[in-house]
Structures are given as C-alpha cells and as structure tokens.
C-alpha cells in the first residue's frame, strides 16, 4: 500500500501531509491577508478623506483621491495574497504580459475614464454640488470618482457617467455663475393693452425682493400673432434662488392678471 502511495504521489504519506499542511496554511494566511488588508484599506481611506476635508481640500478632489487610494491599496493587498500562496510574481506578471493585448483592449475605456477624471479635476468644468446638463441628463453632481461621476436628477435618480465621454462632451453648468437670468413668456389676448400689462408686471417684480435691481429688468412685446400677444419678461436673481423665483413670479402674475381682468390667449 505504501509503495502504491509513493508511486502515485511521488512522496511518502508523512511528506504529503507536510505539503498539504503547508498549502492549507498559505491559503488561510492569504485569505487572512485579503480580509485584514481590505479592512485596513477602508479605515485608511476614511482617515485620509477626513484629513483632506479638514484641510479644506476641494470636495471633488477628496472624492477622487479617496477612490484612487482605495483601488491602489486593494491591488497591493491582492498581490500580497497571491505572493503568500507561493505563486512567483515573475510568473504572475508573465501571465499578465501574455494576455496583454486582450487586457489592453478591455481596459482602454477604463484608462480613458481615468484620464477624463484627471481632466475634470484639473479643468474644473464643474464641482460637487453643481447643477449640470451633460450626455442628455440633467441633475446635481454628488460624487466624482476616478472612473465615474455620479449625478442625482431632480426626481432622485442616480445617473453614473463614465469620466471619459463626460470630460470630452458638452457640459452646461447652471450654477457656476453667482447670478442667473430668469425669463417668463406670457401669451395674452389681443384686446389687452400692453401698457397695462407692463404696469402690472413692473409692480410684481418691484415687490419681489429676490430680483437683482442692479441688473436691467426687461419687459418687452416680443411678437403679435394670430394666437395672441406674446410678452417676455427678463430679470436676474442669485443662482440658488432661480427656481423659487420663477415659480413664485408665475403664481403672482396669474393672481394679478385675474384681478386686473387681463386675459391669456386662448389656444
């Protein structure tokens, strides 16, 4: 029986036991390194992010560096675990090199996204908290990572943009400037006197304290068509107040027009 065992495995039973014990030990240690390494990576990432926030570092850069640091440390943990298993790193790297073409094709988009993330942080077309429109989506930027940027839409849906296409595409930033122009369009009946409409609108805007009086307010008759008389109103407000002023003036205008018997055009 012993002879058969030695012929089959090329070693004696006690030698095989030693090899199996050594292999099992290495596997347990490799798993332990991975678990502890990932745990320490999370702690270190949170520590670095906390320090960066205390130093008033740009929030977008904090998010980017935190993501980059986490990925880098996890790669080191994986390499350490593989080394613990007794796999020579030269063989491991040779295997990666042999599959280099396939890997390169697979990660070309990832590298593009990484470069896009760098461009976003350097050129700063937007920052965390900005309201933007890009790649057909509109929302607020809530996270900038090394490969992706996260946007939250007005109906609380998270949109994930790859940084490569985002950095190279058209971006509309609604909150980059401190002030923003609000525009209202009212289509009124032909029998309404424009002077009367203008007086009512001036009164509404004068009572709206959020309107920037240092910037010109425009009330103009844009055009007259078969549908009615189209009046355009333009005023400036602080950017964060844009939506609230737009809706409030709409409501105030509706009430004032009804009170003054100013009729909207019938479509």
What local confidence, expressed as pLDDT, does residue 16 receive? 54
Please state the pTM of the whole predicted model: 0.61
Euclidean distance between CA atoms 173 and 127, whole angstroms: 10
What local confidence, expressed as pLDDT, does residue 239 receive? 94
What local confidence, expressed as pLDDT, does residue 147 receive? 87
On the question of pLDDT at 224 being above 60, the answer is: yes
pLDDT band, very low/low/confident/very high, at 1 (cuts 50, 70, 90) = very low
Tokens of 35: 């678990």
On the question of pLDDT at 9 being above 70, the answer is: no
Listed in sequence order, the residues at least 6 apart from 83 whose beta carbon sits closer than 8 Å to its beta carbon are 89
pLDDT band, very low/low/confident/very high, at 145 (cuts 50, 70, 90) = confident
Q: Which is higher by pLDDT, 11 or 54?
A: 54
pLDDT band, very low/low/confident/very high, at 146 (cuts 50, 70, 90) = confident
pLDDT band, very low/low/confident/very high, at 44 (cuts 50, 70, 90) = confident
Residue 64: Cβ-neighbour burial (10 angstroms; 0-12, 13-18, 19+): buried
What are the pLDDT digits (tens) for 50-108? 777 776 666 766 777 777 777 777 777 777 777 766 666 565 556 555 555 454 545 56
What local confidence, expressed as pLDDT, does residue 7 receive? 52
On the question of pLDDT at 40 being above 90, the answer is: no
Listed in sequence order, the residues at least 6 apart from 65 whose beta carbon sits closer than 8 Å to its beta carbon are 48, 49, 52
Euclidean distance between CA atoms 71 and 146, whole angstroms: 9
Give the pLDDT mean for 241-252. 95
Question: Averaging pLDDT over each range in 109-118, 222-231, 246-255, which range is the top one?
Answer: 246-255
Euclidean distance between CA atoms 153 and 131, whole angstroms: 9
Q: What is the mean pLDDT of the chain?
A: 82
Q: Which is higher by pLDDT, 222 or 41?
A: 222
Domains of the chain (ranges, CATH numbers): 2-98 (1.10.287), 179-259 (3.30.70.100)
């Amino acid at each position: 029986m012993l002879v058969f065992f030695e012929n089959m495995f090329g070693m004696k039973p006690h030698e095989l036991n030693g090899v199996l014990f050594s292999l099992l030990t290495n596997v347990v240690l490799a798993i332990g390194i991975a678990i502890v390494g990932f745990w320490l990576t999370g702690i270190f990432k949170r520590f670095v992010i906390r320090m960066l926030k205390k130093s008033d570092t740009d929030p977008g850069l904090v998010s980017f560096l935190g993501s980059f640091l986490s990925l880098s440390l996890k790669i080191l943990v994986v390499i350490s675990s593989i080394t613990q298993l007794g796999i020579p790193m030269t063989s491991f790297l040779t295997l990666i090199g042999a599959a280099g073409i396939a890997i390169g094709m697979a990660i070309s988009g990832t590298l593009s996204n990484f470069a896009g993330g760098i461009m976003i942080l350097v050129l700063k077309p937007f920052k965390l908290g900005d309201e933007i429109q890009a790649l057909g989506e509109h929302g607020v930027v809530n996270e900038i990572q090394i490969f992706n940027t996260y946007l939250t839409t007005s109906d609380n849906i998270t949109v994930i943009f790859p940084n490569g296409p985002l950095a190279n595409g058209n971006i509309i930033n609604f909150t980059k400037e401190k002030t923003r122009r609000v525009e209202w369009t009212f289509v009124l009946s032909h029998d309404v006197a424009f002077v009367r409409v203008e007086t009512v609108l001036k009164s509404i805007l004068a009572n709206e304290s959020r309107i920037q009086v240092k910037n010109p307010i425009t009330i103009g008759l844009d055009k007259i068509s078969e549908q009615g008389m189209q009046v355009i109103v333009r005023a400036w407000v602080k950017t964060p107040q844009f939506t609230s002023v737009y809706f409030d003036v709409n409501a105030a205008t509706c009430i004032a027009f009804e009170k003054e018997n100013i009729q909207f055009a019938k479509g």
